Structure formats: structure tokens, C-alpha cells
Amino acid sequence: MELIQSVFKGDKVIWMIFLFLCIISLVEVFSAIGTLAYARMNPFEPIIRHGLYLLIGVALVVAFHNFHYKYTALLVFPLLLLSVIMLILTPIIGVRLNEAARWIEIFGIQIQPSELAKLSMVLFSAWFLGRAQGSKEAMDKAFWVVLIVTAALAFLIVFENLSTAILLCLFVFLMMVVAGVDWKKLLILFLLVASAAALLLFLLIKVERLDGVPRWETWHNRLVTEQLDVRDEGFKITDENRQVSHAKIAISEGKFLGVLPGNSSQRDFLPQAYSDFIFAIIIEDLGWLGLFGVPFLYLFLLFRALKIAKRCTKSVPMLLVLGSALIISMQAFVNMAVAVNWFPVTGQPLPLISRGGSSGVITCLYFAIILSVSNFATQKPIPEEENLVSNETEDPDYEQQEEIEAAE
């Protein structure tokens, strides 16, 4: 027992959520991976590969959650620079799939630059906005810096994956709200972005093709595809509605108890059954347990992160833990909304559950950040009469940094 406690430090509930998601991933990817298994000489090769990536992710969590969260500051600018370089190179040398280049292959390993960009923005926004607490001038400066960097990254991502660019912008906006950016600036920003989004949506619906924008026709089709009920007599599955149609069939076949893992009938017909639409297979396999259990885990992760954030003694770790949990939960609920046809198809995987390489490993790093914060930044509860700024100025590291700056 002491050995386990010495290895698995930090918040035990976060560890349980992480391990539950890993177990669900192994079981459900194995259940949904039929089409890949049939195409391999060794039918177990896809699940072995997925298991190895999960194992790497678990090892990274075990290793990095023992490091103090303050060391993430050293990664902010290198990760941001690497993300920008990879996003620029992706349209040129990236691996193309479904009319879009979304991965860069390095030594046989495919890396998705947009996932790296999301991680860099979690760290960047947390450190910049967190360090600006207590000074209106510093917060105004941090607001503009974070806004400009976010806009630049979103511009580079948008032609690779529109939904990821939107998700990134929404995430940063919420981080600004949590950090306490002036509400007038946030209101103006919201109105400007909402107006631009409304105009873009109108154009996407009305204009079928726009020269010079390679993904425009795909976005248009996803928004205006006619929604027919599979029970209609005139219903026909086509290339345009194949994903949504088979997802609906999978969900309907799950009923109350599900067909149990390995018995899915739609895994061989549903494109990306092991990735973008794995939630539909989970419902088919597990029934209502999957329908409510998986969303509960992501909600529980978010609420637990809120509890950890309340116990943080400084603003930076508070934003780090909230940012990490928020980006996981947002992506999860977008994926699940697509699977149940509440949202247009986006291509967002289900964090830590969907089959994937770099996306799964990066999700594990978010968990490592949350666990590191719970291990090092919550030694005592925040007194109600003190705010984050006063606590931060009482920190020895903070005082030492002030002395160094004064000496310079």
C-alpha cells in the first residue's frame, strides 16, 4: 500500500478517473477496431499499438506528476514555437486524409500539431494570465498578448480543422473569464467574435463553394446536409450521411443494457468507429451505462478540478488545473454531441478513449499537470479572507524573484 501511495501521488480521485478512462479505452477500441484488424496480417496489431500508446501515456503521467508544476513555465515558449512551426509545415509536408493535412510524420510517428497547439495555449494562458493577477496594467497587457497569440494559432489551425480552431478560441475566452479579465473587454470581444461567427455561418450555409478556401465545400456540406429520420420510407444512406446514419443505428441498437463489448454490428460500417464516433459504439455496447457513465466521468473530472483549484494557494496553478480539465471536458462533450447528432461532424476524438497516438499522449500530459498541481499547490486551503494575490506575494519563490528583479 505504501509503495502504491509513493508512486501514485496527488489527488486519488483524478487517478481513478484517469484509470477508468484508460480501461474503457482499451475495451471499447478493441470492440470497435474490426475494420482495422481485418486489414492486418496480425489482427491484434491495432490494439497492441493503441495499448502501447496508452502505456506511454501512463508512464508519462507517473513520471511528470512528481515534478513541480512550476517547471511547466520552461515549456511555454518552446512548445508555442514548435506548434507554430509544425502548423506552418503541415499543409506543405503533412499527411493528408479526407481532403485535409492534419498530421506530420516524424520517424514513422504521426503527430497532430493542433493538439500540441492546444497544450501550448493551456500553459501559455495560465502563466500569462496568472502572473498578471493583482495589477490592472499587467492584466491588460496579458489580455492583448494572449488574444494575439490565440488569433495567430487559430488562423494557422482553421484550414486544418475548423472545429479545433473554434474550440481553442472558446477555451481561451473561458480562461480569460476565470482569470478575471475586465468584463468590458470580454463583452466587446464576445460581440465581435459572435458577429464574425454569425457572418461566417451565414456564408457557409448560402455559399456552396468559395475559390481559394480548400475546406469550404466540406464545411458547407456538413451544415446543410438534409436531416432525415432513418425510419422514413425514403431514407437512403449516402456518402454524405453515412457517419451520422450508422451512429444513430448503433445508438438505437444499444437499448437499455447494450449488446456488450465485441458484439457491435455497426463497427464494420461506421467510419472512424474507433475514433471520432467511438461514443456511438460505447452506447451500442454498454447501453445506458455508457450513455450516462462516460459523460459523468468527464463532468466529475471538471468538478474535481474545480475543487482542487479552490485549494490552490496561487493563481497560476489554479489556472493550470482548470485549463487542463476544461480543454479535456470541452473536447469530450463536442465529440459526444457529434455522435448523438446534436452537432455537425467535427473530427474531434474522445479524449483518452478514442484510438490515437499523439492526441492520447497529450491528454495524459493534461492529467499529469492536474496531478502535479494537486500534489504541490494545495498544501493548505485558501483562507476565505485572503485572495490569490496576497497568497502569491507571501510565497518564498515569489519574494526571491522580486528581490532578483529589484537587484537587476
Q: Report the C-alpha gap between 165 and 149 in whole angstroms.
A: 12
pLDDT confidence tier of residue 389, bands split at 50, 70 and 90: very low
pTM: 0.82
pLDDT at 175: 92
Residue 56: pLDDT above 80? Answer: yes
Q: Report the C-alpha gap between 161 and 362 in whole angstroms.
A: 18
Burial of 283: CB neighbours in 10 Å, binned 0-12, 13-18, 19+ = buried
Contact 318, 391 (CB under 8 A): no
Query: 75 vs 173, 190, 279, 317, 402, CA distance in Å?
Result: 22, 30, 33, 15, 22
pLDDT at 99: 59
pLDDT at 218: 60
pLDDT at 55: 92
pLDDT at 322: 95
pLDDT at 293: 92
Contact 172, 150 (CB under 8 A): yes
pLDDT confidence tier of residue 241, bands split at 50, 70 and 90: low
